Each structure stands twice: as C-alpha cells, then as structure tokens.
Amino acid sequence: MELLNVLFLSLIQGITEFLPVSSSAHLILFPTFSGNKDQGLLIDISVHLGSLFAVIAFFWIDIKVVLASAVKFFYGNKNGHDSNLFICLIVATIPTAILGATLKYLGLYDYIRESTLIIGIAMIGFGILLWFSDKNEQVNVKVSDWTIRHALLLGFWQMLALIPGTSRSGITITGARFLNYDRSSAIKISMLMSIPTIIAAATLEFFSLGFENISINWFEIVLAITISALAAFGALSLMMRLLTTVNFTPYVLYRVLLGSFLVIWAVK
C-alpha cells in the first residue's frame, strides 16, 4: 500500500475513532471514494491499535485504577468502587463480544459492512438519536454511580455499533445520556468501554488473518499505529476540552449531511 494512503487512513481512524461520527464507516468508505484497493485487515488492526494506545495514554490515571481494582478482584476483594468499575467494564463488553464473534462466524458482518445504504441510514438515524439524548439537562449522575445494570444496558447499546455507520462512541454516549449521565461522565464511560472492546475486536480480526498469504510491511504498520495514536489523542483532547461549551449538535449535523449523501449515492 502507498504510504500516502496509509497516512490518510491513519488520520481518518485517529480523528474519528472517539468522535461520535463512526470511524468504521470512514475506513470502509475510503477505498470506495478514493479509488484505492481495500486496505486489508492488517492495516485496520494497526490503526485501531493506535487508537487504543491513545485512549490508554489519555485516561492513564483511570486505567491504573481499573488495573489495580482488577488485581484486587482476582485476589478476592470484590468490594468498593474500584472493583465495581472493573466489573462494569467486563459486563459492558460481553454482549458486543458475543454478537461480534457470532456475526463474524456466520459471515454476516462482511455483508452489512459492504452496504453504503446501511452506512448512510445508520449515520442519519443514530446521529439524530444522539441529538435527542443530548437534549437532557446536565445532571449529577457520574462515573462513580455506574452500576452493573447500567453497564449491561450500555453493553446492549454498544452492540448496535456492529452496524457500520453507527459509531461505537456515539451509541454508548447516547445510551449513557439517556441514563442521565452528564456529558463528561458519558464520554469517559464510553472511552473506558472502548478499551476492552477494541482489544476484543483486534484479537478476533488478528486470528482471522491468513498469515501464510500476507506480506508484512513493518514500516507501514508502525507508521499506521503512530499516526493513528497521535491523531486520536489530539481529537480526544479537543473533544474533552470543548465538551462543557459545545454539545454534540455539530457532530450530528455532520452525520446527517454525510449520511444523506451516502443514501443518495446508494440509490441513484
């Protein structure tokens, strides 16, 4: 793959992964509208790993708390907020992991992944749903109030992200806002949920690769991971800095405009 394409793909993934605009849709559509061949699973995995490193770095203080609570949990200490946060993250990941593995096994994900019409409809529909959820007044439900019941509910919301164009961050933020979490807490929960989800998805894709038929260009992989990580960290920093003064309406407008274009493109 040309280095310029790797650069563009890494920037697209990094910028869109944690914004509620669907990074998967942009990665899927890139080869369609650029005229380039599909980037392949190896580059997809690489740019997602870059995003993973970015969110871990950005929320490192919270991640250390979760890791410490995981150790305590496995040593039998299941009490306290820290252990509760670890349990909630596991519970929230299970529904998507099960459905994702099932769709992959049945070959259904590749089918819906190739539908520009589905992507366009999802961009519009779930974008409008995000707008409705964000109309809630800022309330006092915080990350510390996260319960196993809410984690399971958000896990079911996250399952919808398997529809290309939905946006994993967008749909989990939507679910959290409907559960009355304030905007900052909704984003933080969504970002923390992304870590085990990205790890699970990347692991599934990794084992689906046929390495005997792949030539690995380590320079392209390192470049993809690095650029994606830097772009994701920058986009995440900007969103978190602006969340107190800017709501999700600009993202919703972008989704509706792009989704409308894709629907027209698909049915013309």
What pLDDT, on the 0 to 100 scale, is given for residue 39?
59
pLDDT digits (tens, 9 = 90+) for 207-252: 766 555 566 677 888 999 999 999 999 999 988 888 767 789 999 9
State the DSSP H helix or E strand holding residue 103, giving kind and residue range, or none if neither.
helix 81-106
> pLDDT higher for 2 or 40?
2
pLDDT digits (tens, 9 = 90+) for 128-150: 999 999 887 667 788 888 999 99
pLDDT tier at 169 (50, 70, 90 boundaries)? very high
pLDDT digits (tens, 9 = 90+) for 187-213: 999 999 999 999 988 887 777 665 555
What pLDDT, on the 0 to 100 scale, is given for residue 36?
67
What pLDDT, on the 0 to 100 scale, is given for residue 160?
95
pLDDT digits (tens, 9 = 90+) for 15-73: 998 889 888 788 777 777 666 666 567 788 888 899 999 999 999 998 888 888 788 77
Please give the torsion angle defined by the CA atoms of residues 150, 152, 158 and 160, in that order, rounded to the nearest 10 degrees: -110
pTM above 0.95, yes or no: no
Lowest mean pLDDT among 23-37, 47-61, 80-94, 99-113: 23-37
In the block, residue with structure tokens 């980037």:
39
| Interatomic CA distance for residues 194 and 240, integer angstroms | 16
